[in-house]
């Protein structure tokens, strides 16, 4: 009974907005980085329900995770949730079914990346995101508090004000003109050989730092409280 009451108190607290100036202090004290909006936006911009269920098996599309709309021709390029994304089952393994989905959507306007990515770049991006989510999962239990702070979660989930949604919007906008791997706005060569891969690899690993992983884990934990 007491556990149920405690959970209800936490959930009720999440609906109470914390003033923006206060949020800066709250998040800093909680150990979030100064660029948490960037690290979190990168981790979630293409998240889907399969990935989210690695952290919260009961997750629904009411998850408050802003993501890039797969249909980049839509006027709303950012969705307010991580959507379902169905994979085929023609192959025996998850990686091969991922490749099948990527290549089956080549030339369509709704694969969530826009027109500028080559087939191998699309594969690299999708597998990178799954690798990152798995990496976040491996550190998740070590970096998130057992009982999340309601103020911290209220601040993190206010994505309209804290810059997370704006950073996801930046990614969506830049998919129209290029292949942004980070949110650093740096040019990147086309992925055509081992030399260009060295640059891509370095950029792909940019958000694998312990702090970036912890930022993303804290945000994902807070979204789980709403489901």
* Residue 164: how many other CB atoms lie within 10 Å: 24
pLDDT for the residue 182: 94
CB 62 within 8 A of CB 187: no
- Prediction pTM value: 0.89
Residue labelled with tokens 């007491």: 2
pLDDT digits (tens, 9 = 90+) for 62-118: 999 999 999 988 889 999 999 999 899 999 999 999 999 999 999 887 888 989 999
For 106, the token pair is 């080549």
Q: What percentage of the chain carries pLDDT values higher than 70?
A: 90
Over 60: is that where the pLDDT of 14 sits?
A: no
Pick from 135, 115, 139: which is nearest to 127 by CA? 135
| Pairing of β 78-79 and β 67-68 | antiparallel
Q: Which two tokens mark 12?
A: 């009720």
pLDDT beyond 60 at 25: yes
Distance CA 106, CA 115 (A): 9
Q: Is the pLDDT of residue 13 over 80?
A: no
Confidence of residue 226 (pLDDT cuts 50, 70, 90): low
User: In which domain, by residue range, is 170 found?
Assistant: 2-225
Tell me what the pLDDT averaged over the chain comes to: 90
Closest C-alpha to 43, from 140, 132, 143 = 132
Asked if 208 and 132 count as a contact pair (C-beta separation under 8 A), the reply is yes
Per cent of the chain over pLDDT 90 is 76
**Bridge partners of residue 43, in order along the sequence:** none
Predicted local distance difference test score (pLDDT) of residue 21:
72
**Residue whose pair of structure tokens reads 């911290």 in the numeric block:** 152
Q: Which of 94, 49, 65, 54 is nearest to 168 (CA)?
A: 65
50 forms bridges with which residues in the sheet? none
Report yes or no: 200 and 127 within 8 Å, Cβ to Cβ. no
Residue in the block written with tokens 């070590």: 142
Q: How many folded domains does the chain comprise?
A: 1
At 6, the pLDDT band (50, 70, 90 cuts) reads very low
Distance from C-alpha of 111 to C-alpha of 158, rounded to nearest angstrom:
27
Query: Which segments of 10-83 are extended strands (E)?
Result: 67-68, 78-79
Token pair belonging to 118: 């080559």
Confidence of residue 161 (pLDDT cuts 50, 70, 90): very high
Give the long-range contacts of residues 7-14, CB within 8 A, separation 24 or more: 9/150, 10/147, 10/148, 10/150, 10/153, 10/225, 11/225, 11/226, 13/150, 13/151, 13/153, 13/154, 14/150, 14/153, 14/154, 14/157, 14/222, 14/225, 14/226
- Per-residue model confidence as pLDDT tens digits over 162-205: 999 999 999 999 998 999 999 999 999 999 999 999 999 999 99
């Amino acid at each position: 009974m007491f556990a149920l009451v405690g959970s209800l108190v936490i959930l009720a607290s999440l609906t109470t907005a914390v003033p923006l100036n206060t949020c800066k202090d709250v998040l800093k004290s909680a150990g979030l980085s100064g660029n948490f909006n960037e690290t979190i936006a990168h981790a979630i911009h293409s998240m889907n329900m399969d990935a989210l269920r690695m952290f919260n098996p009961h997750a629904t599309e009411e998850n408050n995770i802003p993501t890039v709309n797969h249909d980049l021709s839509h006027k709303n390029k950012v969705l307010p949730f991580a959507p379902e994304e169905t994979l085929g089952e023609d192959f025996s393994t998850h990686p091969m079914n991922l490749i099948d989905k990527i290549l089956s959507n080549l030339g369509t306007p709704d694969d969530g990346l826009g027109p500028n990515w080559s087939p191998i770049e699309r594969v690299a991006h999708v597998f990178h995101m799954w690798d990152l989510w798995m990496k976040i999962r491996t550190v998740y239990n070590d970096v998130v508090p057992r009982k999340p702070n309601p103020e911290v979660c209220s601040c993190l989930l206010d994505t309209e004000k804290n810059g997370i949604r704006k950073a996801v919007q930046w990614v969506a906008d830049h998919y129209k003109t290029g292949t942004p791997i980070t949110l650093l706005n740096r040019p990147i060569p086309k992925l055509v050989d081992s030399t260009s891969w060295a640059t891509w690899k370095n950029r792909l690993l940019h958000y694998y730092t312990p702090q970036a992983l912890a930022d993303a884990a804290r945000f994902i934990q807070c979204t789980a409280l709403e489901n």
